[in-house]
Amino acid sequence: MDHFNGLTPAEAERLALLCEELGEAQQAIGKILRHGYESTHPDGGPTNREALEREIGDVYAAAQMLEDAGDIDQPRVEAWRECKLVNVAQYVHHQAI
Ligand SMILES: [Mg+2]
C-alpha cells in the first residue's frame, strides 16, 4: 500500500537525513550564540566553530543527495541561492554585502 504522501522509502529517507542535519546545524548555532565560537564542551572535543563547520558540511551533503537523486533541481537551487544573496542585502544591518 502506498503512503498517503506518495514518497518512496528512498525519498523519505533522504528528507529525514536532511531534516536531521538541519537540526544538528541549528544545535551548533545555538551553542555558538550561548557560548561563543571558540567554546568547547566541558569534556573536550571540537570547538563550536568546528562543530558548525561539520554540520554545515553534513547539510550540504544531505542536500546534494536530494539533487543527485532528482528530488530537487540543482540549477533552481543555485538560482535561489544567488537570488537570496541579492535580496537579503536590504534586510541585514551588520553585513558588508
Ligand atoms: Mg551531522
90 CA from centroid of ligand 1 (Å)? 31
- Between 97 and 78, name the one with better pLDDT: 78
Enumerate the H helices of 1-97 as residue ranges.
9-35, 48-69, 74-87
Tell whether 90 is covered by a domain. no
Mean pLDDT of 34-46: 96
Any domain includes 1: no
Share the mean pLDDT of the chain.
Answer: 96
- 65 belongs to a structural domain: yes
pTM beyond 0.85, yes or no: yes
Bridge partner list, 40: 47
Asked if the structure places residue 33 within a domain, the reply is yes
Place of cell 542585502: 89
Kindly state whether residue 2 falls inside one of the protein's structural domains. no
User: Which residues hold their Cβ within 5 A of ligand 1, which is an ion?
Assistant: 21, 24, 55, 58
Number of domains, the chain: 1
Taking residues 37-66, what's their average pLDDT? 97
Expressed in angstroms and rounded, the spacing between residue 80 Cα and the centre of ligand 1 is: 24
The whole-number pLDDT of residue 97 equals: 75
What CA–CA distances, in Å, run from 74 to 6, 19, 22, 30, 95? Answer: 22, 18, 18, 29, 27
Per-residue pLDDT of 66-94, as tens digits, reads 999 999 999 999 999 999 999 999 999 99
Distance between Cα 21 and ligand 1 center (Å): 5
Look up the domain containing 64 and give its range: 9-72
Q: Does residue 87 belong to any structural domain of this protein?
A: no
CA of residue 25 to ligand 1 center, whole Å: 7
